[in-house]
C-alpha cells in the first residue's frame, strides 16, 4: 500500500473520530474504523457515550421472522377458554370501547365474538398455551417468551407494517435492521450486515404488499438498507458475472482496474479512490461468499427433516429459515424474513392452517437448530406481525368465508434466544383478547428491548434528521421490557 496514501487515510479517519457526531452516531462511525471498539477495549471508554457502554450485549445478532398481514393472536397464542362460552354473543360495548376500527368492519351491524377455531394445548414446563395449528412451535414452548400485550396505534397494513419495521407510521424513517447496520456494523467482511428474504404465503396469495421501505435506510445513509437475498442464479442482485466472463477472468480484470484506479489515487490524493478499490475487492469476495451461503449441499438429511420438506424449495419460508441459520453462523447482524399472507379477513378457517403450515415447522426448527449449535444464546429470534386480529367476526359468523379484521390494541409475538427468558409469557389481555389488562408493550418498547439485547441504549442510538436526533424509538417515551429479559 502506498504510504502517502495510507497517511491520508489515517488523517481522514482521525478527522472523523475527532468530530464524533452526536450520540452513538459518532461511535457508530468510530466502530467502522475500529471494530474492536465494540469489543470493550480500554480505548472504547473515551469514544462511546456512557449510556451505551453500561449494557452488556446478550445477543450479537437478530433473526426476525416477520409474519406479514397480522397473524390471529386469538387463534394461535392468546388462549381464553371463556370465549367458547361467549361464542356468538356480541362484543360488549364496554370492551369494544370507542376507538376506531378499520373501514372494513366499521359498518358491521354486529360484532359477534368468535371462539378460537382450533384447540390449544398447554406445552412445556411452563404450560404455555399454543394452538394445535402450531404443533412444532408447541415443542419449543420452553425456549421462547410469548409477549401477549404488544400494541400499536395503526389499524391498517401500510401504516402498521411501516410502524413496526421503522418505528414510525410516517414515511421516511430508518428500518430496525438499517439502524443495527449503522450502529453495530457487520461481523463478516464478506456479507452485508442486514439481509432480507421474502416468501409467499399459501394461506393467502398474494398477501398484502411489501414495500422496500420496510428494510430501507430511510434517513440513514443508503448503504445501510437491507440487501435482498433471492433464490436463483443471482441471489444478490447483479452478483453473477455476465455470460462470457468467468471468475478467473474477473479476478484479472479487477486487478487491472485496481491498477488504473491506484494510479489515479496517487495523482489526486482523494481517499475515496482507495475506498472504491476496496469495494471492488469486497464485491469479488461476495461472488464466492454468497453462493457459498446459498449452497445447501453440505446440510444433512437430518437438518432438512428438521426444517421440513419445503426447506428444499428455494424461496420458501422454510428454505429461508435454514439460510437464516447459515447467515447467523456467518455473523450477519440482522436477518429478516418476511412471510406474506397472514391477512385473514376472509375464510380464516381454510386460510390460517395453510399459513401456519408454511411457518410452524421451520420456525421451531430454527430455534432448535440454533440451540443445538450453541448459537441461540447469542442470537435473538423474533416471530410476529404488524398487528393481531379481532375476536369478532368479519362477515357472517359461521360462514366458511368469515374472517377476522385487523386488531392493533393487543397482539402476540414470541422471542427466543439472546437475552430473553425461556419458557415464559408476558402481558395479559382481557377475556376477549381485545384490551390489555397487564404489562402493555408498545412497539417502541419492543424496539427499545431489542436494541437493549444487542447492548444498545435506544436513547443513544441517534442520527440527525430534520434538526432532531432521530431515534428508532422516536420522540415519545420507550421502555425496555425488563420482565422478559433473562
Partner 1 sequence: MRTLSLRHWLPVLAVGISCLTLFAEEKQPAPAAKSDATVDFSRDIRPILSNNCFFCHGPDEKHREADLRLDTRAGAFESVIVPGNLKESALIERILSDDPDMQMPPAESGKKLKPAEIELLKQWVQQGAAWQEHWAYLKPERAALPEVKQKDWPQNEIDYFVLARLEQAGLKPAKQADKRTLVRRLYLDLLGLPPSKEEVDAFVKSDDPRAYEKLVDRLLATPQYAERMTLKWLDLARYADTNGYSIDGGRHMWLWRDWVIDAFHKNKPYDEFITEQIAGDLLPEATDWQKVATGFNRNHMITHEGGTIPEENLVNYTVDRVKTTSEVFMGLTMGCAQCHDHKYDPITMKDFYQFFAYFNRLDDRGLDGNSGINAGPKLSVKTELSFASEELKSLDTELKRLQAELDHPDEAAMRNWEAATQQQLAERGKNLKLHELEIVKVSDPNTRSDFETSEEGHILALAASGRSPSISLKVKPGTDQLTGLRIVFYPNEKLPEGGIGHGKKESFPGGFILTSLAASGTAIHSDQLDLYSMFNIAKITASQSHPDYPVQDCLDPRDHNGWSPAPHNQSQQHLTATFEKPYETKDSKYITVMLVWGGGEFGGRQALMAGDYQVFGISGIDDGSTIPEAIQTILAVEPAKRDAAQQTALKVYYSQIAPELKNTRYQLSNLQERRKMLTDSFETMVMNTAAKPRETFILDRGQYDQPTVQVSTGVPGFLPGLPEQAPGNRLALAEWLTSRENPLTTRVAVNRFWEMLFGQGIVSTTADFGSQGDPPTHPALLDWLAVEFYEQGWDVKHILRKILLSATYRQSSEGTPELWKEDPQNRLLARGARFRLQAEAIRDATLKVSGLLVERVGGASVNPYQPEGLWREVSHYGSSPATAQVFVQDHGEKLYRRSMYTYWKRTVPPPNMQTFDAPNREVCLVSRARTNTPLQSLVLLNDVQFVEASRNYAERIMKEGGAGIESRIRFAFAEALGRPPEAWEVKTVTEAYQRELKNYQSNDRAAVALLNQGESQRDKSLPTAEAAAWTTVASMIFNTYEFITRG
101 or 416: CB nearest partner 1: 101
CA atoms within 13 A on the CB side of 265: 23
Binding map of partner 1 across residues 443-462, x = CB under 8 A, - = no contact: ----------------xx-x
Task: State the DSSP code for 473.
Answer: T
Residues 167-186 that bind partner 1 (CB under 8 A): 171-172, 181, 185-186
User: Does residue 67 touch partner 1 according to CB under 8 A?
Assistant: no
- Which H or E run includes 404? strand 403-407
User: Does residue 417 touch partner 1 according to CB under 8 A?
Assistant: no
User: Does residue 330 touch partner 1 according to CB under 8 A?
Assistant: no
148 or 389: CB nearest partner 1: 389
Residues 210-269 that bind partner 1 (CB under 8 A): 210-213, 216, 219, 221-225, 227, 230-232, 234, 236-246, 249-250, 252-253, 256-257, 259-261, 263-265, 267-269
User: Does residue 273 touch partner 1 according to CB under 8 A?
Assistant: yes
Count of residues touching partner 1 (by CB under 8 A):
131
User: Does residue 95 touch partner 1 according to CB under 8 A?
Assistant: no
User: Does residue 15 touch partner 1 according to CB under 8 A?
Assistant: yes
User: Does residue 466 touch partner 1 according to CB under 8 A?
Assistant: yes
CB of 447 to partner 1, least distance (A): 17
Residues 467-486 that bind partner 1 (CB under 8 A): 467-469
Rg of the Cα trace of the chain? 24
Please select the residue that binds partner 1; options are 122, 205, 288, 372, rule is CB under 8 A.
205
CB 162 within 8 A of CB 214: yes
CA distances (Å), origin 39, targets 43, 47, 50, 56: 10, 13, 15, 10
Task: State the DSSP code for 474.
Answer: -
The DSSP result for 279-322, as a single string, is HHHHHHHHHHHHHHHH--TTS-HHHHHHH-GGGGSTTSHHHHHH
125 or 238: CB nearest partner 1: 238
CB of 98 to partner 1, least distance (A): 11
What interhelical angle do 271-294 and 247-268 show, nearest 10? 160
Please select the residue that binds partner 1; options are 34, 108, 303, 439, rule is CB under 8 A.
34
**Residues 177, 243: Cα–Cα separation, whole Å:** 34
436: Cβ contacts below 8 Å, ≥ 6 apart: 149, 151, 409, 410, 427, 428, 429, 430
CB of 121 to partner 1, least distance (A): 26
CB of 230 to partner 1, least distance (A): 7
Number of other CB atoms surrounding residue 399 within 10 Å: 12
Please select the residue that binds partner 1; options are 315, 371, 430, 440, rule is CB under 8 A.
315
Question: How many helices, marked H, and strands, marked E, lie in the chain?
Answer: 16, 17
**Residues 146, 409: Cα–Cα separation, whole Å:** 16
120 SS3 class: strand
CB of 127 to partner 1, least distance (A): 34
User: Does residue 17 touch partner 1 according to CB under 8 A?
Assistant: no
Please select the residue that binds partner 1; options are 55, 95, 283, 485, rule is CB under 8 A.
283
135 SS3 class: helix
Please select the residue that binds partner 1; options are 40, 51, 135, 292, rule is CB under 8 A.
51
User: Does residue 463 touch partner 1 according to CB under 8 A?
Assistant: yes
CB of 408 to partner 1, least distance (A): 12
E strands in 52-154: 61-67, 120-123, 128-131, 144-151
**Residues 223, 93: Cα–Cα separation, whole Å:** 49
313 or 373: CB nearest partner 1: 313
Beta bridge partners of residue 63, listed in sequence order: 335, 381
User: Does residue 41 touch partner 1 according to CB under 8 A?
Assistant: no
64 or 79: CB nearest partner 1: 64
User: Does residue 102 touch partner 1 according to CB under 8 A?
Assistant: yes
Long-range contacts of 232-237 (CB under 8 A, 24+ apart): 232/314, 235/290, 235/291, 235/293, 235/294, 236/286, 236/290
7 or 486: CB nearest partner 1: 7
Residues 139-168 that bind partner 1 (CB under 8 A): 155-158
140 or 352: CB nearest partner 1: 352
Please select the residue that binds partner 1; options are 45, 119, 142, 270, rule is CB under 8 A.
270
Which residue stretch of 1-9, 109-117, 322-330, 435-443 sits at the interface with partner 1 (rule: CB under 8 A)? 1-9
427 SS3 class: coil
Please select the residue that binds partner 1; options are 87, 96, 276, 371, rule is CB under 8 A.
276
Look at the block and give the residue holding cell 420456525: 363
User: Does residue 271 touch partner 1 according to CB under 8 A?
Assistant: yes
**Residues 389, 348: Cα–Cα separation, whole Å:** 11
Amino acid at each position: 500500500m502506498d504510504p502517502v496514501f495510507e497517511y491520508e487515510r489515517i488523517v481522514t479517519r482521525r478527522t472523523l473520530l475527532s468530530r464524533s457526531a452526536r450520540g452513538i452516531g459518532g461511535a457508530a462511525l468510530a466502530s467502522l474504523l475500529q471494530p474492536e471498539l465494540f469489543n470493550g477495549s480500554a480505548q472504547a471508554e473515551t469514544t462511546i457515550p456512557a449510556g451505551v457502554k453500561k449494557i452488556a450485549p446478550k445477543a450479537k445478532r437478530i433473526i426476525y421472522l416477520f409474519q406479514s398481514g397480522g397473524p390471529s393472536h386469538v387463534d394461535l397464542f392468546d388462549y381464553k377458554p371463556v370465549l367458547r362460552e361467549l361464542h356468538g354473543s356480541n362484543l360488549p360495548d364496554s370492551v369494544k370501547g370507542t376507538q376506531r376500527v378499520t373501514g372494513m368492519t366499521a359498518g358491521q351491524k354486529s360484532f359477534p365474538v368468535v371462539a378460537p377455531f382450533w384447540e390449544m394445548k398447554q406445552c412445556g414446563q411452563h404450560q404455555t398455551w399454543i394452538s394445535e395449528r402450531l404443533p412444532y412451535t408447541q415443542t419449543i414452548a420452553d425456549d421462547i417468551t410469548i409477549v401477549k400485550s404488544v400494541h400499536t396505534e395503526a389499524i391498517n397494513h401500510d401504516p402498521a407494517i411501516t410502524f413496526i419495521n421503522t418505528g414510525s407510521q410516517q414515511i421516511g424513517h430508518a428500518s430496525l435492521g438499517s439502524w443495527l447496520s449503522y450502529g453495530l456494523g457487520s461481523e463478516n467482511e464478506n456479507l452485508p450486515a442486514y439481509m432480507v428474504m421474502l416468501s409467499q404465503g399459501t394461506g393467502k396469495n398474494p398477501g398484502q404488499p411489501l414495500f422496500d421501505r420496510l428494510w430501507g435506510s430511510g434517513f440513514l445513509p443508503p448503504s445501510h438498507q437491507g440487501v435482498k437475498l433471492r433464490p436463483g442464479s443471482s441471489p444478490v442482485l447483479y452478483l453473477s458475472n455476465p455470460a462470457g466472463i468467468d471468475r478467473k477472468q474477473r479476478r484479472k480484470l479487477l486487478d487491472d482496474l485496481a491498477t488504473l484506479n491506484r494510479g489515479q489515487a496517487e495523482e489526486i490524493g482523494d481517499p475515496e479512490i482507495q475506498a472504491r478499490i476496496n469495494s471492488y475487492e469486497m464485491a469479488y469476495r461476495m461472488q464466492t461468499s454468497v453462493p457459498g451461503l446459498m449452497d445447501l449441499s453440505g446440510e444433512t438429511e437430518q437438518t432438512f427433516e428438521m426444517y421440513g420438506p419445503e426447506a428444499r424449495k428455494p424461496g420458501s419460508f422454510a428454505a429461508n429459515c435454514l439460510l437464516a441459520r447459515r447467515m447467523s453462523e456467518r455473523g450477519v447482524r440482522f436477518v429478516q424474513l418476511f412471510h406474506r399472507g397472514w391477512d385473514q379477513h376472509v375464510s380464516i378457517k381454510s386460510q390460517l392452517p395453510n399459513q401456519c403450515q408454511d411457518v410452524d415447522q421451520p420456525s421451531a426448527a430454527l430455534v432448535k437448530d440454533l440451540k443445538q449449535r450453541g448459537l441461540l444464546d447469542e442470537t435473538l429470534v423474533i416471530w410476529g406481525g404488524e398487528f393481531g386480529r379481532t375476536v369478532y367476526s368479519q362477515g357472517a359468523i359461521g360462514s366458511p368465508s368469515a374472517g377476522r379484521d385487523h386488531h392493533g390494541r393487543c397482539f402476540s409475538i414470541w422471542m427466543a434466544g439472546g437475552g430473553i427468558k425461556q419458557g415464559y409469557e408476558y402481558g395479559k389481555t382481557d377475556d376477549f383478547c381485545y384490551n390489555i389488562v397487564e404489562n402493555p408493550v408498545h412497539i417502541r418498547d419492543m424496539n427499545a428491548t431489542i436494541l437493549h439485547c444487542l447492548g444498545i441504549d435506544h436513547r443513544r442510538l441517534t442520527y440527525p434528521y430534520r434538526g432532531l436526533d432521530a431515534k428508532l424509538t422516536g420522540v415519545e417515551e420507550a421502555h425496555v421490557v425488563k420482565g422478559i429479559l433473562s
